[in-house]
Chain A
Amino acid sequence: MNAALVIAGSCLKCGLRSKGLWAVIVATLVPMLILNIGLMLIPDQMWELAVQVAAGFHGEDVQSATEWVKETTEQADQKRELVLNTSVSGSIRLIGAVASLIAIFFTTLTNESGRKSLAHVLSHPIRRSSVVLGSFLGTLVVVVPCVFVMTVFAFVLLLIESGKADWPFFLSGLYLLAGVTVTTAYAVAFTTALHPIIGVFASVGYTWIAAKTYSVHLILQQVTGVAEHLGRAWLYLIPRLGDFSTVAIDKAMAWSMDEATAPPITGNMTVGFLLAALHVVFALTLATVSLRRKQV
């Protein structure tokens, strides 16, 4: 454990001294700022365009969203609420996506197993599992402050926008971190087992699939035969990252959400968290086995 903390400490130094990482965070804050300021300043004449942008952020069909909003936002306060909700969900999706990408790329950068420094590291009296755990913890200690910085920024923007403090917004950051933890564990596994560049693509692809777990489950459920069983198993085989993002938005928009309008989640979140923990253990075990088999 001590060796894992030493490796994690080195990763933290890398994060603190990496200009690229800070550039990514700042680059994330800019579109968040543009989104929020843009939504605040939208004139009534450009509402339709704004709705299309909002629908795009929600990943919904632009045409049907436009018609739905036209029907439901005739009053000014309803429009205002939609702007705020879009701002919240847009910010959270952006934070979640950027945090996942930071986790993947930072893992690739610092994971010892993909570096020429591995031989030196393994010459010390440490277990290979410590190297894996160190890379995992090292990425987490960098990603957590990143998410915190981005969440605070989005919180302040919403405070200015709405005039009230949306404290549950911070809770949403915790849900995002749960998802990013799973992403990090798989990034460590993929970049250990595969060539680092292939590991990056595998991590990004797997994270995208895991974010769409529920959609894939629904598609598989519509098919009969083996696919139907696979559809049921799918929810347990693939981590439900999409749920963390959904619940994060749900928590952050608690002031306006009711059960009718809340986005669907796959199931009981306790099960979701438990599954996420199992996936983290599985991914780190996979990474350790891969590192043991690796020719240094």
Chain B
Amino acid sequence: MQQDAPAIEIKQLRKVFHPKGSDPVTALDGVTLTVQRGEIFGFLGRNGAGKTTAVKVLTNMIADYEGECRIQGMPTDRLEVRRAVGLLPEVTDFHAWLTAEEVLWFHGRLHGLSKLVLSERVPALLARLGIEREAWTRRVGPFSSGMLQRLGIAVALVGDPEIVFLDEPTANLDPLGRRDVRNLLLELEREGRTVFLNSHILSDVEMTCHRVAILEQGRIIASGDVTELAQVRPYAHIRATSVPNALLDELRTLSDDVAVLDGTIVVRIRTEDDLDPIPSMVERHGARLRYLAVARESLEDVFMRMVGPSGAQSGGGPQ
């Protein structure tokens, strides 16, 4: 392993599937990104955008692709790379005949861990993931999807990996479970691990990730710091005693994007300095200002702006 290399490095990654009887499908098309060591990186995109394919390439599930992928400076097909990696796949299943403890022992032994190490690590991980003690010795076949998800995360961590790939880790969890996983992600960050997080639940990503990339139709359409992405274009929210059309017309001199939603005028502004003339504009048109504030975009707003509800990219974001 190269000590100074980034945790994950992808250059011009392209993967085309050739399903029998139908046209080729380009799952990834020239994806380039770098994830630094110790950061939580969010990988966002709608269903079928190519997120899971990217994780499969990075964890060596898919071997034939174009481009270059490296984990800590090494090709992904090296066994030593897989020693440093833990994975929670999007769809997972366990041997239904094994107990929760045995599942972790099974995966720990596959990871090459000794019985001595596992005898300490297995109970610690089960407790850390909030799996009740009485469930440790029960067979996993009848486990709920939430319990299986927690067990899956425990399996991803059993090898004490430096890099953890989590594909929809909160998908089957209730709000309490989601909070536990978010706390776990922050713990992993404090421990210095790198987390590559695929998720649809944007609020979870916003609360945990440093940087994100948004994938659409196999291409990265936006990437960067979460707070920077959300601050690209703030909104001014204005409430006044009346909303004359002349006021709206004058506000349109500030911005092309002016709308009235439930009596609130929403104006997309470039900077907070654009707020300064608004009180005088309102008074000039015979209304009184009741409320004026700047609203930042949430990650969900950014995602919807980038990807759009219909699937077409509706706005240009930072590349």
Q: Which residues of B contact A127 (CB under 8 A)?
A: 79
Q: Does B109 contact A (CB under 8 A)?
A: yes
How many of chain A's residues have a CB under 8 angstroms from any CB in B?
25
11 inter-chain pairs at a CB distance below 8 angstroms, sorted by A residue, are: A2-B112, A6-B110, A7-B110, A10-B95, A10-B98, A110-B95, A116-B93, A123-B82, A124-B82, A124-B111, A295-B61
> For residue A296, which residue of chain B has the nearest CB?
B61
Q: Does B293 contact A (CB under 8 A)?
A: no
Q: Does B87 contact A (CB under 8 A)?
A: yes
Q: Min CB distance, A4 to chain B, in Å? A: 10
- Which listed residue, A7, A117, A125, touches B79 by the CB 8 Å rule? A125
- CB-CB contacts below 8 Å: A117-153 with B: 117, 119-127
Interface mask (B148-174 → A, CB under 8 Å = 1, otherwise 0): 000010011001000000000000000
Contact A6 B106 (CB under 8 A): yes
Q: Does B94 contact A (CB under 8 A)?
A: yes
Residues of A in contact with B (beta carbons under 8 Å apart): 2-3, 6-7, 10, 13-14, 17-18, 110, 115-117, 119-127, 292, 295-296
How long is the Cα–Cα vector from A117 to B93 in the complex, in angstroms?
Answer: 5
> For residue A17, which residue of chain B has the nearest CB?
B97
How long is the Cα–Cα vector from A116 to B111 in the complex, in angstroms?
Answer: 18
Contact A3 B110 (CB under 8 A): yes
> For residue B87, which residue of chain A has the nearest CB?
A123
> For residue B83, which residue of chain A has the nearest CB?
A125
Bin chain B's interface residue count: 20 to 34
Q: Min CB distance, B69 to chain A, in Å? A: 15
Q: A13-B102, A120-B87, A292-B63 are in contact. Are A125 and B97 (CB under 8 A)?
A: no
How long is the Cα–Cα vector from A6 to B92 in the complex, in angstroms?
Answer: 19
Q: Which residues of A contact B83 (CB under 8 A)?
A: 125
Q: Which residues of A contact B63 (CB under 8 A)?
A: 292
Q: Does B91 contact A (CB under 8 A)?
A: yes
Q: Which residues of B contact A122 (CB under 8 A)?
A: 59-61
Q: Which of B109, B110, B155 has its CB near the most chain A CB atoms (within 10 A)? A: B110
Q: Does B296 contact A (CB under 8 A)?
A: no
How long is the Cα–Cα vector from A230 to B112 in the complex, in angstroms?
Answer: 48
Contact B82 A296 (CB under 8 A): no
Q: A116-B91, A116-B93, A295-B62 are in contact. Are A123 and B112 (CB under 8 A)?
A: no
Contact B102 A124 (CB under 8 A): no
Interface mask (B94-109 → A, CB under 8 Å = 1, otherwise 0): 1101100010001101
- Which listed residue, A13, A110, A119, touches B87 by the CB 8 Å rule? A119
Contact B80 A125 (CB under 8 A): yes
Q: Does B86 contact A (CB under 8 A)?
A: yes
Contact B92 A116 (CB under 8 A): yes
> For residue A121, which residue of chain B has the nearest CB?
B110
Q: Which residues of B contact A296 (CB under 8 A)?
A: 56, 61-62
Given A2-B109, A119-B61, A119-B92, 19 more pairs with CB closer than 8 A: A2-B112, A6-B106, A10-B106, A13-B102, A17-B97, A110-B95, A116-B92, A120-B155, A121-B107, A121-B110, A123-B61, A123-B82, A123-B85, A123-B87, A124-B82, A124-B112, A125-B111, A126-B79, A292-B63
Q: Min CB distance, B71 to chain A, in Å? A: 12
Q: Which residues of B contact A7 (CB under 8 A)?
A: 110
How long is the Cα–Cα vector from A165 to B83 in the complex, in angstroms?
Answer: 55
Q: Min CB distance, B149 to chain A, in Å? A: 13
Q: Min CB distance, B131 to chain A, in Å? A: 17
